[in-house]
Structure 1
Amino acid sequence: MFSARLLRLTLLIVSLLGVTGPAWSDLGGTLSMQTDARNRGMSYSSNRPSVQLGLAWDGDAGWYGGVQMAQARFTAGRQGAWLQGYSGRVFAILPGLDAEVGALAHTFHRAGPYDFYEVYAGLLGERWSVRFFHSPDYYGSGNRSAYAEFNLRWPLANGVAAIGHVGVLDGRGGRILSYVGSHGPTRVDLRLGASWQLGASSDLQLAWVSVSRGGPYIWTDSSRRQTAVLGLTTAF
């Protein structure tokens, strides 16, 4: 079963906007299909194709929240549903520049004791974003984690954009497993590619992903270090 503690936390995060924020003004969703589902450079689909479903709410005064659902395949014996719940708020600072704070909870069904939560803060520009995440127990490893990411989306032509991402993950304080210990507590991931707008509600992306070894992960480190990923996302 889902961890009761994390499930309650997930529901709490999503419901907080209904308590502390104004009434929802917009509800929507996304359906994504990828040749290899990656999170911070690591494959959570065992280097296989995957489908993800997302539901999101955007409220007044910058409040937002939502859930994402996917199938996680960490190892042959640890695979099952992955549910993420998140909420946050965006604040205007200057024209074209916003600040963001929020919380994110992850809970897994039949995929190992990997439940964890994070808090985050960031800056959002018109074509870029910077975010910093912290978890006191990353993927149940006992490690405190810090993750910093920079994302860029740069228009090239009508409906075409270049996309880029760099992230640095660092974990401290927990047990060190044999397959990551020799590579240290830090992992770097890169993603470079292009995005094509298909109609009014779909987006096709082709990207090259590269990730180093190390970091606070507790499943077998079987992700390909470098791979091309093709993904299609449709909003509804």
Structure 2
Amino acid sequence: MTAAACAVLLLCAGTAAAQVGGNIALLSDYRLRGVSMSDGRPVPQLTLNYDDPDSWYWGVQASGASLHERGGTQLIAYAGMARRLASAWSWEAGASRSVLTRDHGSDYGEWYAGLAAERTGVRLYFAPHYFGRDVRTLYAEMNGFHPLQDGFKLVAHIGVLCPLSHAGMAAASMRRDGSLGLAVALGDWNAQLAWVASSGGAPRSLYYVEAASRAVVLSAAYSF
């Protein structure tokens, strides 16, 4: 799932009333699980979300995208439920659908479940046809932040994508990704500078990327 959707995991832990919101952002490189979805180019991004008082939430994200050297837009719609446990943790479960406007052969859906606390969250995703391929995948991730002085936060992410082999398909290697960055909020504006890296031996035909990838990504967003 996207960074915006991961943020929902953390925010839903404290949701108590209906809320409608979103943000408009500009990213120097749109990275999804460590993979550039914009061919290393800057793209705009729009996110809209709704949190229901009965613990339901839904949202949609639109991002500039470029796969197979084609421009276009990636639309990700997601919906789920999050509820607080007796402890400081909350659980959630939901589903998402990714659509590429100029490459519908790469559309795919995922189911996910997770746990969240005030500063950290974990999620597990299952895709029966990852990026439209006849390959089932599991993706596990952990996201968190640590507050610093003057409104700054240290943010971190780690994830592992594991293809599930089946009859007639050779076993594929796991792909790992991670990021470490510094974020700051200035009123309704926030900015983040992060180092992003991914590695693994999965075939290019499945992930559209080289075996290893690293980048420094700058993003700025206005929340409403």
Given candidates 206, 209, 234, the residue that maps to 2:196 is 209
Q: Distance in 2 between matches of 1:176 and 1:210?
A: 27
> Equivalent of 2:139, from 142, 147, 151?
147
Distance in 2 (alpha carbons) for counterparts of 1:189 and 1:153? 17
- For 2:212 and 2:137, how far apart are their aligned partners in 1? 22
1:53-102 CA-to-partner distances (Å, cap 9, x unmatched) read 011111112110011111210122x3322111100111111342100111
Q: Is the 8 A contact 1:75 1:219 kept in 2?
A: no
Name the SS of the counterpart of 1:60 in structure 2.
coil
1:30 — aligned with what?
23
TM-score with structure 1 setting the length: 0.81
Alignment pair present for 1:198 and 2:186: yes
- CA shift, 1:25, in A, is 2.7
Structure 2: distance between partners of 1:176 and 1:26: 45
- The alpha-carbon deviation at position 176 of structure 1 amounts to 6.8
CA shift in 2, pair 1:49/1:154, >3 Å: same
Runs of 4+ in 1 over 6 A off after TM superposition: 174-177
- Note if 1:132 corresponds to 2:124: yes
CA displacement at 1:111 relative to structure 2: 2.3
- TM-score normalised by length of structure 2: 0.85
Aligned-partner SS, 1:94: coil
Q: Which runs of 5+ in 1 are unaligned?
A: 1-23
What is the aligned partner in structure 2 of residue 18 from structure 1?
none
Task: Give 1:112 shift.
Answer: 4.6
The answer to whether the aligner puts 1:161 opposite 2:153 as a matched pair is yes
**Measured at CA, do residues 187 and 219 of structure 1 come closer, stay the same or move farther in structure 2, by a change above 3 Å?**
closer
Q: Is the 8 A contact 2:26 2:42 kept in 1?
A: yes
1:52–1:176 Cα change, 3 Å: farther
Q: Aligned partners of 1:80 and 1:176: how far apart in 2? A: 31
What is the CA-CA distance between 1:203 and the residue it aligns to? 1.2
1:218 partner SS: helix
Counterpart of 1:82?
74
Q: Which residue of 2 aligns with 1:69?
A: 62
**CA distance in 2 between partners of 1:64 and 1:70 (Å):** 20
Q: Select the residue among 87, 110, 125 that pairs with 1:118.
A: 110
What is the aligned-residue identity percentage? 34
In structure 2, C-alpha distance between the alignment counterparts of 1:152 and 1:215, rounded to whole Å: 27
Letter in 1 for 2:52: G
Residue 104 of structure 1, CA deviation: 0.5
In the alignment, the residues of structure 2 paired with residue 121 and residue 48 of structure 1 have an alpha-carbon distance, to the nearest angstrom, of 31
- Unmatched 5+ residue regions in structure 2? 1-16
Task: State how many pairs are aligned.
Answer: 206
Give how far 1:233 is off.
Answer: 1.6
Q: Return the offset for 1:161.
A: 0.7
Distance in 1 (CA, whole Å) between partners of 2:54 and 2:21 is 18
Partners of 1:124 and 1:186 in 2: CA distance: 25
Matched, 1:229 2:221: no
Alignment RMSD (CA, Å):
2.1
